[in-house]
Every structure is written in structure tokens, then in C-alpha cells.
Amino acid sequence: MAYLFTSESVSEGHPDKIADQISDALIDNFLAFDKDSKVACETLVTTGQVVLAGEVKSQTYLDVQKIARDTINKIGYTKSAYMFDGNSCGVFSAIHEQSDDINRGVDRATKEEQGAGDQGMMFGYATSETENYMPLALDLSHRLMIELAALRRENNDITYLRPDSKSQVTIEYSDDNIPQRIDAIVVSTQHDDFVKPKSDSKADIAAAETEMLEKIRKDIINILIPRVKAGLPEHIQVLFNDDITYHINPTGKFVIGGPHGDTGLTGRKIIVDTYGGKGGHGGGAFSGKDPSKVDRSAAYATRHIAKNLVAAGICEEILVQVSYAIGVVEPTSIYVNTYGTCPFNLTDGEIADKVYEIFDMRPAAIEERLKLRQPMYSETAAYGHMGRVNETVSKTFEQFNGTKKTLDVELFTWEKLDYVDKVKEAFEIN
């Protein structure tokens, strides 16, 4: 029997994502001037206020207030009407030095013997249902948010958009797990109060709200959706149909939003950040953590493994789990689930054994293989850490004393298909 599966995404202006982006901007700035920095930074945002807290061990000193304000302005919170903007909000820092007890378990005499920064389990997932090996519902949800942000910045076709928004997509699958159609799309977007009531009467206020909501619904369906659809391959475009159920700002007008409407915290969108509920999640957030924290680095490494195994033809879908003990070099386990999609006479246990041989999962080896000591993390903090484009960009950073540094940074290294040939050779397939 056919079934439905749903994933959601949120915009860069969502309160939790603002917090993630500030935390990762701090990570990038620390790594830019001291690649061996150890950082765990949490951010809270609320009406007119940003609170930074965490632990740092670094040889550099940063103007954390300026970094936070620049990040907020870049997102688009630049107007006092939002009750939260980068130029006027308060920024309080409670960042302090990392505990020696924690650091002792991570740092070793040789880099190769670096222990895991914490215990826990991490998951990586990949599926062949999209070109970027991501679950379709999540991929479409992200695309909706990316395109809506582009429309906001263009300020031409839609002129009333504010930064905070959310999306959700429901896909109908066949019994053999093939996407059949899009069943429902939800978009909630913050907006200006662009239709004023004729009077203070309840009837006129309701009429103005109805007019706004009808305009927003029309623009989302007739402008946003076609732009998203146009960027998709043909076999995904055909899943759009006239029977899609649209829920556009279903609670009514959405003028009060962002940190003024809802407090935001680092690490509260871990499913948006990963696979939209497909596969598994170990529970650890990514943003605000340097790569010695295996919550982050090993999650990227397992995604790299999963994607390369699917691309090599080992399976159509795969979940990879790895686990660690704090301060211990080797992982405590590696687990694989191919959901019965492996076309070869191989058990999941045998595949896991091969994975252990092919991929060095010691924390230091992961950092080196995926080049994780680069200031590469700000770009991960909105629209998902997985399924993104591997590219090299130039980034400039400024220290407290005005010293600037420009670096070429390779982004999303865990999305590279650089191990496909190694996987095929190890499994002895053409």
C-alpha cells in the first residue's frame, strides 16, 4: 500500500537558525586565525538580545559582538520594525576557557592519536532517489526556503517578505519506495503588514488580513513554486500536480516573527540539518562545535561513506552508524543498514567490515580526509549540512586588532564522490 512521508525546512531567518549561524560564524573566525582552536559555542537569540556562551581554547582573540552583529545583518534583520536587528541588539558574551579535563582526553602527543571529543553515536544516510543522494521531501523543503530567501533579497516579484519562514513537503511513495507525487506543501512566511484596515473595526481588520493572506497564497503558488520546479530534473518536475494540497500561512498573518516572536537556540533543528527524519540521528547538534567534536565530524564522515557507497552501486539506500567513547581513538562500532537494497550477495555486516577497512574513522583521520580544520562552517548553518554543493570559495576574516586574512576554503567536502573507485575496488565490482 502506498504511504506518505514528510520533511520540513526552515529559513536562515528562523530564530534557531540565526543562533546556528552565529555559532558557526564564531567557529569559522577562530579556525581562520588558529586552526587548532577547540570551540563549543551556544547562542540564544530573543527580542533585541543575543547571548553567547561556551568554551574555547584558542590562540586568537575575536570581537564576538561584531561577528554576531554582522551575521544578523547578513541574514536580513536590518530594520527596527523587526524588533531584532544587527545594529541595535544587545550582545552578551559568557564564553570562557575549555576545561582541562575535557581537553586532556582529546589532545595527544601525536595528532594521529587524538581521542574523540565526546562519546555518542552518529549517523550518515544516502539514497538514490535524488541527484544529490538526499531524501526528496527534505530536498524540496530546502529548495523552497532557498528560493524564498532569493525572492526576498531580490525584492521585485514579492516585496513584502521578512526573513523568518518554514516549509514542509509530503511525498507519496509506492510500495517499492518510489516517489509518486507531491501530496502537500506547507509554507509559512513572515511578512510586512502591507494591507492596512480601513478602520479599527473587527470586520475591517479581518478583511485586511484576508486580503494579505490571499495575496501571499497567490504569490507562493504562482511565483515561488514555479521557480523551484524550474530548477528540478524532469523526473521530479512531473511529481508536481494540480491536486497538491497547499497550506500557506495556515495560522493567519505572520508579521511578528524571528527572535521577537520566538526565542532561538543553537542546535534545535538537527533533523532539518540532516535527513528530514529519514535514516537516523544520534541526537548531537553540529553548529558551534569544532571538528574535534565527533558529533559533527563523524556525522560528516558517515554521510561521506553513505554517499560514496550508493554512488558506487553497493546499494540504493544506506544508513551508516559509528560510535565513540570520549578520549578513545578508534570507534567502538560501525553499523550498516542497506534496507535490503544491496544487489550483491553481501550481508550488512560484511559491508560494515569493508567500510572499516576503506575509511579510517579515527577523529584525526576524519579531520584530515575531509579538511575539517578550514573555516568552512558558516555555509552549513542554514538549509542543511548534507546534500550541498562541494565548491571552493574565497573568504575574508578580520581580527579584533583589524588584521585581515583571506583564505580559499573548500566547502562541503563530505559531499565529494572521491571514494567511489576505492569502494568498487574493495568490493571487487566494475
Greater confidence (430 vs 233) lies with 233
Where exactly are the structural domains of the chain? Answer: 3-9+136-256, 120-127+291-427
Task: Give dist(CA 372, CA 367) in Å, integer.
Answer: 5
* 115: confidence class by pLDDT, cuts 50, 70, 90: confident
* pLDDT tens digits for range 186-225: 999 999 999 999 999 999 999 999 999 999 999 999 999 9
- Residue 79 CB contacts under 8 Å (≥ 6 apart), including other chains: 85
Q: How many CB atoms lie within 10 A of CB 350?
A: 14
* CATH number, domain 3-9+136-256: 3.30.300.10
37 known member of a binding site: no
Tell me if 268 is assigned to a ligand binding site.
Answer: yes
Q: Calculate mean pLDDT across residues 264-273.
A: 97
Domains 3-9+136-256 and 120-127+291-427 share a fold: yes
pLDDT over 60 at 101, yes or no: no
Q: What is the pLDDT of residue 102?
A: 54
Contacts of 40 (CB under 8 A, 6+ apart): 54, 55, 56, 98, 288, 289, 290, 293
Residue 164 annotated as binding?
A: yes
**What pLDDT, on a 0 to 100 scale, did the predictor assign at position 104?**
54
Residue 98 assigned as binding residue: yes
The answer to the question of whether 410 is labelled as a binding residue is no
- DSSP letters, 74-91, are HHT---GGGT--TTTSEE
Least confident of 60-64, 350-354, 411-415: 60-64
Mean pLDDT of 64-92: 95
Is the model's pLDDT at 103 over the cut of 70?
A: no
254 is in an annotated binding site: yes
137-153: per-residue pLDDT in tens? 999 999 999 999 999 99
- Give the mean model confidence (pLDDT) for residues 73-90: 94
| In 195-259, beta strands by DSSP E | 245-248
Instruction: Tell me how crowded residue 337 is: count the other CB atoms within 10 A of its CB.
Output: 19
User: Which residues lie closer than 8 Å to 144 by C-beta, 6 or more apart?
Assistant: 9, 167, 169, 185, 187, 224, 228
Alpha-helical runs (H) found in 123-222: 136-154, 202-219
CATH of 120-127+291-427, one of 3.40.50.720, 3.20.20.70, 3.30.300.10, 3.30.950.10: 3.30.300.10
- Prediction pTM value: 0.95
Report whether 285 belongs to an annotated binding site.
yes
Strand arrangement of the beta sheet that strand 90-97 belongs to? 90-97, 49-57, 38-46, 264-265
**Residue 55, annotated as binding a ligand:** yes
